[in-house]
Homo-oligomer: A and B are copies of this chain.
Amino acid sequence: MNIQQDIRTQMMETVKTVKKIKPMAGSITNTVTINFVANAQLAVGGSAAMVYLPDEGAAIAKAGSAMYINVGTMFPLYEESLPLTAKTLYENKKPWVLDPAAIGIGEMRTNMLMRFKEYKPSIIRGNASEIIALAGLWSLEGGTGKSKVRGVDSTDRVCDAEEAAAALARWTSGAVAVSGEVDFITDGSMSAYSYGGSVFMEKITGAGCSLGGVMAVYSAVASPFIAALTGAAIYNVAGKRAAKKAEGPGYFQIIFLDELYKASAADIAGHEFILKDMQ
């Protein structure tokens, strides 16, 4: 059977199942884009629930179908909330998505990201600089403590993060998605490029965060690789369509949510992606 066709069938199924069962993917995420994450999760058919406290993180981890953890803005109580929630997810075999936002800023963020290594996130989503830095922090191939992270922006190219992404995916037995002009998704053996999107996605805050939240929703009903690829695909479809209607980032963000909502399973599964030749 054609592997690309098989992947498309799984993506189609993923989108349809989410719209049907409305899985809850809770979040511990930053306060900057928390609203956008929730609205994106709802737009694709999922259900959202955001928490901060340790016991609430654990409760949502158990009650939900998947979870999203984004370390973009750290609070002191995360010292307890994040490890407990990640541990609960890991022990209960719940899929979860890690966004190592702004890796490198502050001691607690570094400590938390270090702790996550043992709780193996199902999907890690970040920009090229963040993926390289995380692989470095976890002492994996392709990583370096010296990636060109600057705040929350990437200063590395997606292609330079492929080795780090593959190494992270092999460690977690999950998938890694590197966001950029072209998205790179890998599970350590199979890899794909997803095309599309819009330059406006870098002119709004939260395109990456909300994509992580959407991948968490999809991970509730699909393998990490398919969930990550489906998330990248719907973002690239919706981004491209919204960009055609928008003159600026404000309107773009609004119409982007509409396009997330309107994109059909066929649109998403049929969106252009290319499998990378594997050795």
Binding site for B on A (CB under 8 A): 24, 26, 30-36, 38-39, 42-43, 47-53, 55-56, 59-60, 63-64, 72-77, 102, 105-109, 150-153, 202-206, 246-251, 253-262
Q: Are A152 and B51 in contact (CB under 8 A)?
A: no
Which B residues lie within 8 Å of A109 (CB)? 56
Distance from A122 Cβ to chain B, minimum over Cβ atoms (Å)? 20
Roughly how many angstroms separate A250 CA and B117 CA in the complex, as a whole number? Answer: 36
Roughly how many angstroms separate A42 CA and B53 CA in the complex, as a whole number? Answer: 30
Which B residues lie within 8 Å of A151 (CB)? 24, 26, 47-49, 60, 63-64
Q: Are A261 and B206 in contact (CB under 8 A)?
A: no
Distance from A113 Cβ to chain B, minimum over Cβ atoms (Å)? 14
Which B residues lie within 8 Å of A55 (CB)? 106-108
Q: Are B262 and A258 in contact (CB under 8 A)?
A: no
Q: Are B73 and A52 in contact (CB under 8 A)?
A: yes
Distance from A159 Cβ to chain B, minimum over Cβ atoms (Å)? 22
Which B residues lie within 8 Å of A49 (CB)? 102, 105, 151-152
Which B residues lie within 8 Å of A75 (CB)? 52-53, 75, 77
Which B residues lie within 8 Å of A63 (CB)? 105, 150-151
Q: List 11 A-B contacts (CB under 8 A).
A: A24-B151, A26-B151, A35-B35, A39-B249, A43-B250, A50-B72, A56-B74, A56-B109, A59-B105, A60-B105, A63-B151
Roughly how many angstroms separate A39 CA and B254 CA in the complex, as a whole number? Answer: 13
